[in-house]
Chains A and B, each alone.
Chain A
Amino acid sequence: MRRMNNGSTNILEIENLTTTLRIPGGKVSVVEGISFNVKAGEKLVIVGESGSGKSMTINSILQMVPDSLIDSYKGIIKIDGENILEMSKRKFKDIRGKKISLVAQNAMTSLDPSYKIGKQVMEIYRHNHKKASKEEAKKETLILLDKMGIKNPEHVFHSYPHELSGGLRQRVVIAMALTGNPKLIIADEPTSALDPTLQLQILDLLNEINQKFGTSILMITHDFGVVSYFADRVIVMYAGEILEMGTVDEVINYPLHPYTKGLLKCIPDLSWLDKEDKIEKRKLSSISGEVPNLAKKLTGCRFAPRVSDIPEDYHESSPKMHKITDTHWVRCTCYQYYLKDSIAGLEGVK
């Protein structure tokens, strides 16, 4: 069954989500007060370095944080209009797989090495379609594998995970995620373990799924190249908070937060290669310092310790999200420092 893509409804709504974990000697909020939506048919990408809380965000959405670690979730996570934080575990089981599903970073962790691919995909299929017979499941699995651009689905069906290449394995995992015909696929760095050529193929496949089936995709990455190639909207996360959010054009071409700017400058500039004469290549810039330890109490703008060129008083004591345009949001007013020479304040940005 194909769903209609009507662009305005939200598949996923997150409001003021705070995820707190128990650690030896205290508690730590790995995700703090984040809010965002994923619209139907939208490709949203979360960028951030390790320790920025991007993985914990999706683990919270999928309720995959181990019970032994979790202290509390605060806020609202609505999937297709239902708040999953107020839902029984049993009911949530039906949502996971049918409405949202996960494509993990390392395909080997999603596949059991001791069972054949076919058996594993069929198992998920029959979990999501309780009435399906074995024959039906096999037929559907083969069709699904074929749709994933696997040239010889019958052969892959009868192979063990280790017999497949990394790219094929990732395609199988995506097929598994699609068995329940979900409305939202959450992809946790689906390509960072792959070669650049394979990365492109997998991104193209996800793009195709998005267009053909209207499936929304929430992807996590640390690569801005992937963002510009794949995403409609992008969220920049840092130390458990959203620092900037906007359309790809807004964030890449008009970044406001110093952290976003810094990340973008870390990408090597290739334009010097096209120039005929020998011009000096731009030096690769970097962001000094490291992602803060969340176990320590953080106050004020969390990125402030890593920027030296902005005076202290430009940072807010308790940073809020500031609206720049309807889609472009940025946390902390420190970005205004760079704008002070242009038209004063926010007006200059629009």
Chain B
Amino acid sequence: MTEPLLEVKNLTKIYGQKKNLLRSGNQVLAVNNVSFTVNKGETFGIVGESGSGKTTIGRMIMQLVNHTNGDILYKGQKYSEFTKESAERFKSKVQIIFQDSGSAFNPRKTIGSQIAYPLLKKIKDRKAVLDEVIKFIEMVGLSKEMAYRYPHELSGGQRQRAGIARALILKPELLVLDEPVSALDVSVKSQIINLLENLQKKYNLTYIFIAHNLDLVAYFCDRIAVMYHGEIKEVGSTKQIYQFPHNPITKKLLSSILTLDGRYKVSN
């Protein structure tokens, strides 16, 4: 259970470029010397205010942006030492679900064809691909007619389900969930969270859950990292963080949770 799947060591990201003749050299330190480990099968939460660098970490894990310094290790192998084959394998094992499902799909292609796309590279038999797509669409709770619809014909919740189907079709091990429910309605939000929980059990998935609403994080995550201005201020199990927060930032974030009985009471 405690076998590390992903290790992040002294990770740093600086946006912007060095000063030269043409550039003024505006640099932003988005992520500063961050280290953490994500174990197999767990849900690791990254919380922080906007601009704290949590999304940047998710993108670096996905290799959507390159890191400036430090290392990310997937199953003990450094990203920088990936061969062509291992990079290919890695890409099918790590997937992402975006916050805004509206912009995560190509508006000109049907949902089904976009879910099928990653699979078409692996399987040549189109009938088999179609069967697989239908299977996954039904698994995330959509009807199979949805495969022939365009993204704009689906509601936000349905699109997010389709996003989950697309991410799962290559049978990944690690899913980066970048605020997957913050754009959704209350009742749909819990539908998606429950779906993600069930899928985690079924496929033994590991989640990295990036969010800013702490009540959901408390419910969903096993361990939590609290970020502030590009640095991780505190890492611990959910209970540790919520019961005995040490860092003032953590306390501030916790005390801003609004529950049904007013503000969340932070113990000192």
Binding site for B on A (CB under 8 A): 49-50, 166, 195-200, 222-226, 228-229, 252, 262-264, 266-270, 273-274, 281, 283-288, 290-291
Contacts and interface: CB of A to CB of B under 8 A. Distances in A.
A287 B49 CA distance: 29
B194 interface: yes
A229 B219 contact: no
A290 B192 CA distance: 13
Interface string B185-217: 111111101100000000000000000111110
Tell me if B's interface is mostly helix, strand, loop or mixed: helix
A195 B212 contact: yes
B187 A49 contact: yes
Interface string B233-254: 0000011001100000000110
16 contacts: A49-B186, A200-B256, A224-B260, A226-B258, A229-B258, A268-B218, A268-B219, A270-B242, A273-B239, A281-B219, A283-B194, A286-B188, A286-B190, A286-B194, A287-B187, A290-B155
A195 B50 contact: yes
A5 B220 CA distance: 45
Given A196-B212, A290-B155, A290-B157, A263 B186 contact: yes
Contacts of A198: 49
Q: Which 9 A-B residue pairings sit nearest by Cβ, starting from the closest? A: A225-B258, A268-B219, A286-B190, A287-B187, A49-B185, A196-B256, A286-B191, A195-B49, A273-B242
B146 to A, nearest CB: 13
B259 interface: yes
A263 B185 CA distance: 10
Given A49-B185, A226-B258, 8 more contacts: A49-B188, A195-B212, A196-B256, A200-B258, A267-B259, A283-B194, A284-B193, A290-B157
Given A273-B239, A284-B219, A264 B260 contact: yes
Given A263-B187, A268-B219, A274 B194 contact: no
Contacts of B264: 270
Contacts of A268: 215-216, 218-220
B191 A228 contact: no
Interface of B: 49-50, 155-157, 185-191, 193-194, 212-216, 218-220, 238-239, 242-243, 252-253, 256-264
Contacts of A225: 215, 257-260
A50 B188 CA distance: 11
Nearest to A229: B258
Contact of A273 (B187, B238, B260): B238
B138 to A, nearest CB: 16
B241 to A, nearest CB: 9
The listed residue with most A CB atoms (<10 A of its CB), out of B49, B190, B193, B262, is B190
A284 B190 contact: yes
Given A49-B185, A269-B219, A287-B187, A228 B261 contact: yes
Contacts of A195: 49-50, 212
A70 to B, nearest CB: 24
A252 B218 CA distance: 21
A217 to B, nearest CB: 16
A346 B200 CA distance: 44
B187 A266 contact: yes
Contacts of B238: 273
